[in-house]
Each structure stands twice: as structure tokens, then as C-alpha cells.
Structure 1
Amino acid sequence: MHLYHHPFDLNSQKVRLALEEKGIDYTSHHVNPITGKNLDAIFFQMNPSGRLPVFQNGSHILYETIDIIQYIERIAEVSSGAVGINVSGREVVEWMRRIQEWDPKFFTLSHIPDKYRIYSSRFIRRVVIARMSDSPELAGAYHRKLREAYQTEEKLKDPDVLRRSKEHLVMLLDEVERQLSVTAYLAGQDFTMADVMFIPVLARLVLLDLEHEYIADRPNTAEYWLMVQQRPSYKRVIGKYFDGWRKHKTLLKTWCCVRIRSLLKKY
């Protein structure tokens, strides 16, 4: 089993947390979307959208986060021999879908300083053009990716797009806060795949230095956040890269790579 992912990517974090919680062995492939590695022809042939994560088990390839997590659950179920015990129930799946409905892209990009965001966006567009030249057989897919990059920049100028993204997030967080007032975890007293889906959302807010605004003012969520950070899966998947000084190291390494490749015109 192979997972193509990156520590920066929120959906990748969800899948990796599921793999860690279920104790599933897999081969890890880092594909950094900020440096355009998700646009390399080999990966693009596997997934023309260029999105992460991608889970491959033999000839079976999955792209959608919830589909991957449910597939991981089935693998864990078969491995344990305890049929029906490890698979998420309806309430858990409903939470998973509710969380996945919030797209973090525009919210995240709107909180990145313009000079860095614009520089990175320009770099990615140049990578797309370079890959299009190298792999003309994939020109159609690369054209779609290039158009998507331009559309993203246009949408970021629309205050309604950003407002809707923030409102959706606030609605989700308020719903979680109410649920955590009666249960220890999202779908009851036990940790489930719903929590696996939600932890990266909180981690993203902390990464953007928005913890006080979105987490601290919600006491149940704040207590929950402190609790889930103690799980070994969190420490391996997220804490390893973003806790304390590690956050600056992780981001600086990627930014230096983008700068050097831009200066050398190595797209």
C-alpha cells in the first residue's frame, strides 16, 4: 500500500491519522504541492487533478479522503478478523461528511501574506507551463490546472467567497462545541474517524495563528484540542512537523526550495 501525501496538506493529515490509529503499514511518498511536485507527470498520470492525498493498493487507487478512510477501516477490519467492529457507524460518517464539506483552501490562502501567496502562485503557474511542455500528452489536464490557478486568484479577490468560507467554518466549530458539551469526542465517548477528520482542522487554525480567535473562545473545543494532542497519532502526523520551532523549520525549508528554484528558473 502506498500513500502520496504531504505534511502541509490537511486531507493528507486526515488519512495519515487514520492509518496511524488503525495501525496500518504503508509506504510513504512525500509530494509537496507548494513546490509543484504534485504536477510531475508520474503523479499527474495517476491523478490528473493533482490533489492530495492519493492512496494506492495494488491497482486500486483512491482520491477522495472519506473513501480512503473507509477503505482503511475495511483493511483494519479484515486484518483483525473482528467483522463489523471497526467500521464507522452512521453518526460517525455523518460527522465525517459534515467536516469534509468545509473547503479550507480559500480560508487558508486569505490568511497568508499577499507577497508570499502571490509569489507561490506565480511559481506554481510556471511549473504547470513547464510540465505541459515536457508532457504534451497531458496538455489538457495541465490546461485545466492552470485555469484553476487563475480562478483561485480571482476568487480570492471576492469578499463574498472569503466570507462564506469563514461562515462555514464558524458554523462547523459551533456545532462541534455544542456536541463536545455532552460527549468527550465528536460521535460519543470514544475516539472515532470523525475525530480523525476534525483534528487537522484545529491544527490548521493553530498553524495560521488563529487559535485564540477560533479555539480558545470555545471552552469545550479548547479542552478537546489539548486532549487529542496527546495521542501518539497526532504527535507522529502533525506534531512532528508543526509543534513549536518545528513549524518554522518545516515552512522555511519549503520556502527556500521555491526561492532557489525560481532564481535558477528550475521549474
Structure 2
Amino acid sequence: MQLYHHPCSLNSQKVRLALEEKGIDYTSFHVNPILGKNMDSSFFRMNTSAKLPVFKNGSHIIFDTIETILYIERIAVVSVGNNSFSSQEVIEWMQKIEQWNPKYFTLSHIPNKHRLFVSKFIRKVVIARMAESPDLASAYHCKLKEAYETEEKLKNPDVVKRSKESLVKLLDEVETKLNDTTYIVGDEFTMADATFIPVLARLVLLGLEDEYISCRPNIADYWGLVQQRPTYKKVIGKYFNGWRKNKTLMKTWCSLHIRNFLKRY
């Protein structure tokens, strides 16, 4: 079993939390989307959406996050004897959490000069890969068009506003749910939690903890609790707690500038 992912990818974190919680062995492959590695033809042929993560078990390849997590649960029954399947309520919460798309919210909180620099670099990567693999030209062209459309949508304040409103609605629902439970669905950790934790981690990474987490006492307590889990420390804390955050981001930022300077797209 192979997982193509990156520590900065929110959906990658969801799937990795599921794998670690279920005790599933897998081979990890880092694919850095900020450096355009998800546009390399070897990866792009597997998944022309270029989105992370990609889970591969033999010839079986899955791109959808929830589908991957449910598949991991089925694998756990066979490989480690874990007979715990997600209930319908857990699946409904996973779907509700997954409905919030962090893309525009995240990009709107990144300084324009940094965001535009990365966007321009990625477009150059796509053009370079297109020239190398002409049989994939149409799929690469779609990604190029998508990159331009993303920049246009970010100029529309309503797009960012809707994303923020969707996030606030989700957080308020979780806050209410946690009035009666320790975790999102009951007093035991479930895959709904594995899906939600990366959302909170993204808010902290963006420096928005006070605005979205601390002001909600139930979620604040929940956030403190889940950070103590070994799986959180391995999947997220290892890269973004304390000084590790700067190390993770600076490593990518330096590689990005070096490749841009050398024109190695």
C-alpha cells in the first residue's frame, strides 16, 4: 500500500490520521504541490486532477478522501483485526466536514506577493511538463486554466466570504455537538475526528487560532485533547508544532526560490 501525500496537504493529513489510528502499514511518498511535484508526469498519469492524497493498493487507486478512509477501515479488519466501522452518523459528519473547501480561505490569508510568486512558478511547471509529455497536453492545459481561474476568483470578495461563512457554520455545529460529547460522535475517537482535526490545524497554521478556536470553549478543549494523541504528533505536530513550523515552511520556500532562480521547472 502506497500513499502519495504531503504534510501541508489538509486532505493528506486526514488520510494519514486514519492510517495511523488504524495501525495500517504503508509506504509514504512525499509529493510537494508547492514545488509542483504533483504535476510530474509519473504522478499526473495516476491522477490528472493532481490533487493529494492518492492511495494505491496494488492496481486499486483512490483519490477521494472519504472513500479512502472507509477503504482503510475495511483493510484494518483484515490486516489488524480491527472490526470497528464508521457508523452512519460518523460518515455524515465526515461528509459535512468535507463540504468545506479550504482552498480559497487558505489562499486569501497568504500575502499576495507570496501567493502570486508560487502561482506563477506552478504555471511554469505545468507548461514545462506539457512540453515533456505532449500526450497529456489537454489535461495539463486544464490545470493551467484552473490556475488562472483561481486567481480571478480570489479577486471576488464574495468567494472568500462564502468560504468563511461555510467554515464558521461548521465550527458552530461542532461547538454545539461538543456540549454533550468528548469527541464529535460520542466519547470515543472516530474517523469524523480524523477528518476534522486537520481543519483546526490549518487555522492554527494560518495564525487564526484566537479568531476561530479559542473563542469556542468546547472546540478549544477538544483541540487541546486531540493534540495529545500520538497520531496527531506523528502526522501534524512533527511538522508544525513550535519551531518545526518554520523549519517545514522555510525548507519548501528555499527550494522554491532556488528552482525558480535556476529555472528548473
TM-score (norm 1): 0.98
Quote the residue 1:154 is aligned against: 152
List per-residue Cα deviations over 1:104-137 (Å, max 9, x = no partner): 0000000000110000000000000000001001
Give the distance between the partners of 2:65 and 2:105, measured in 1 at CA.
19
- Residues 171-182 of structure 1: pairs in structure 2 closer than 5 A: 171-182=169-180
Quote the residue 2:63 is aligned against: 63
Give the distance between the partners of 1:240 and 1:190, measured in 2 at CA.
24
- Residues 202-217 of structure 1: pairs in structure 2 closer than 5 A: 202-217=200-215
Give the deviation of 1:186 after TM superposition. Answer: 0.4
Residues 69, 25 of structure 1: CA spacing in aligned structure 2 closer, same or farther, 3 A cutoff?
Answer: same
Q: Aligned partner of 1:32: which letter?
A: N
Quote the residue 1:232 is aligned against: 230
Quote the residue 1:201 is aligned against: 199
Give the distance between the partners of 1:246 and 1:200, measured in 2 at CA.
17
Give the distance between the partners of 1:68 and 1:86, measured in 2 at CA.
16
List per-residue Cα deviations over 1:151-179 (Å, max 9, x = no partner): 00000000000000000000000000000
- Give the RMSD, CA atoms, in angstroms: 0.6
Q: Aligned partner of 2:187: which letter?
A: Q
Q: Which of 184, 189, 197 in structure 2 is aligned with 1:186?
A: 184
- Residues 63-142 of structure 1: pairs in structure 2 closer than 5 A: 63-81=63-81, 85-142=83-140
Quote the residue 1:244 is aligned against: 242
Give the deviation of 1:77 after TM superposition. Answer: 1.3
Contact 2:35–2:122, Cα closer than 8 Å, also in 1: yes
Q: Aligned partner of 2:70: which letter?
A: Q
Gaps of 5+ in 1: none
Give the distance between the partners of 1:110 and 1:74, measured in 2 at CA.
38
Give the distance between the partners of 1:113 and 1:49, measured in 2 at CA.
26
Q: Aligned partner of 2:58: which letter?
A: G
Quote the residue 2:221 is aligned against: 223
Give the distance between the partners of 1:227 and 1:190, measured in 2 at CA.
12
Give the deviation of 1:79 after TM superposition. Answer: 2.3
- Residues 14-93 of structure 1: pairs in structure 2 closer than 5 A: 14-81=14-81, 85-93=83-91
| 3-state SS of paired residue (2:55) | strand
Give the deviation of 1:81 after TM superposition. Answer: 4.0
| 3-state SS of paired residue (1:52) | coil
| 3-state SS of paired residue (1:28) | strand
- Percent identity over the alignment? 69
Q: Aligned partner of 1:208: which letter?
A: L
List per-residue Cα deviations over 1:206-264 (Å, max 9, x = no partner): 00000000000000000000000000000000000000000001000101111011111
Contact 2:23–2:80, Cα closer than 8 Å, also in 1: no
Give the deviation of 1:86 after TM superposition. Answer: 1.0
How many residues get paired? 265
Give the deviation of 1:80 after TM superposition. Answer: 3.8
Q: Which of 159, 164, 168 in structure 2 is aligned with 1:170?
A: 168
Gaps of 5+ in 2: none
| 3-state SS of paired residue (1:55) | strand
